Amino acid sequence: MASLRLFLCFFLFTASSVNIVCSRSLQKDHIALFVFGDSVYDPGNNNYIDTIARANYYPYGETFFKYPTGRFSDGRLIPDFIAEYANLPLIPPYLQPGNHEFTTGVNFASAGAGALSETNQGFVRALAVIDLKTQLSYFKKVAKQLRQELGDAEAMAFLSKAVYLINIGSNDYVLPFISNSTVFQYFSKQQYVGMVIGNLTETIKEIHMEGGRKFGFRNFGSLGCIPLLKALVPGNTTGSCFEKVNELAKLHDAALTEALKEMEIKLEQFKYSMHHLNIYLSELTKNPGRFDVCTDFVLQGFKEVNKACCGSGPYRGISSCGGRTGVTEYELCSDPTQYFYFDSSHVSEKANKQIARLMWSGPPNITGPYNLKAFFQL
């Protein structure tokens, strides 16, 4: 029977008039990681679209990879570390040429993307992004391919066991303030946050319909404190944050938490982990050199938590790192491991590793009932 099945598979593969894919099986404990989001999670998808929102040039990638990969950091991102902790290979960008194997997962994230389709689209020249809706459409294509390869039942089991990391929304809140948008003349802060959360929750529900059950998030914490926004505060010599964005981030975090609690009740087997970034940042700000996040986590700190390693202007908050985005001159620190922020909007590899470690095995006050390690063991 096995020989006959192999022959039939070969025959159907070579017969151009027949479009049938022979199924294969995965081990029972096989697990995968699927990633959605923006530049915080983008491993290089934007390298393959017509956009200036790229990090495929020096000095990005210099710490770990020793060459630019498209990641907005000096090295690895949070999903890279989560994959390592889960004994998975680096999760590749969906748009990477030749990437047609999805049984360990795939990364759909795109720098500049928002939960709102309008965010960043056409904002400046060639600033195309892969918005959340498009990322979802890519995932559905992957799910369809997996069903063809594995069969409906095994594909559903595989997708149900997989873990889904999502980080998106920050661009929706930052862009209106750096683009002179009039959006808040038409919508209240609550209405605007409601639109972002609405798109995000609809995406989560669609992933759930395809089989997704275990979702990992991080809140935005003090989003208004990134160097990019500190540089926008007039006469800012004390490290003050951009409070209008912090207000939106606070509303977002509260609304997302409520939405996740509701989905946990209404959606079959839905589980989530929520990393509270504000707790980590609060401890870090109090004692940048060395800080206790909780009893089990004493993390080596940073010498600089306000100013970026790479950029120009106040707090190096002008997005000039690498000299490819309009401003050609920029400053670059000698040791990114001493900086929490690598560029005006993104943290260093060292900071990504610390955040990933807390998401992976942090206590309930950091992650909620589940940490990501528990998800990979369920």
Please write the tens of the pLDDT for every residue from 174-205: 999 998 889 999 999 999 999 999 999 999 99
Residue 68 has pLDDT above 60, yes or no: yes
Total structural domains within the chain: 1
Cis peptide before 59 (omega within 30 of 0): yes
- For strand 290-294 and strand 297-300, is the pairing parallel, antiparallel, or unpaired? antiparallel
pLDDT over 90 percentage in the chain: 75
Can you give the residue range of the structural domain that contains 169? 33-296+348-376
Q: Report yes or no on 157 lying in a domain.
A: yes
**Mean model confidence pLDDT for the chain:** 89
pLDDT over 70 percentage in the chain: 88
For 236-260, what is each residue's pLDDT tens digit? Answer: 999 999 999 999 999 999 999 999 9
- For strand 331-332 and strand 290-294, is the pairing parallel, antiparallel, or unpaired? unpaired
Q: Report yes or no on 149 lying in a domain.
A: yes
Return the pLDDT at 186. 94
Residue type, 353: K
Q: Report yes or no on 314 lying in a domain.
A: no
Give the dihedral of Cα atoms 72, 74, 78, 79; nearest 10 deg.
70
Q: Report yes or no on 66 lying in a domain.
A: yes
Backbone φ and ψ for 223, nearest 5 degrees, come out as: -60, -30
Is the pTM here over 0.85, yes or no? Answer: yes
Return the pLDDT at 4. 34
Residue type, 184: F
Q: Report yes or no on 96 lying in a domain.
A: yes
C-alpha to C-alpha distances, 307 to 91, 177, 226, 316, 336, nearest whole angstrom: 30, 20, 9, 6, 11
DSSP output for 195-235: HHHHHHHHHHHHHHHHT--EEEEE---SGGGSHHHHTTSTT
DSSP state of 260: H
Residue pair 230/236 in contact by the 8 Å Cβ criterion: yes
For 124-166, what is each residue's pLDDT tens digit? Answer: 444 679 999 999 999 999 999 999 999 999 999 999 999 999 9
Enter the tokens of residue 182. 């009039």
Residue pair 348/74 in contact by the 8 Å Cβ criterion: yes
Residue 297 has pLDDT above 80, yes or no: no
Residue pair 146/211 in contact by the 8 Å Cβ criterion: no
C-alpha to C-alpha distances, 358 to 218, 231, 246, 270, 302, nearest whole angstrom: 10, 29, 22, 21, 17
CATH number of the domain where residue 364 is located: 3.40.50
Enter the tokens of residue 92. 């590749």
Return the pLDDT at 6. 37
Q: Report yes or no on 279 lying in a domain.
A: yes
Q: Report yes or no on 94 lying in a domain.
A: yes
Q: Report yes or no on 18 lying in a domain.
A: no
Q: What are the catalytic residues? A: 39, 343, 346
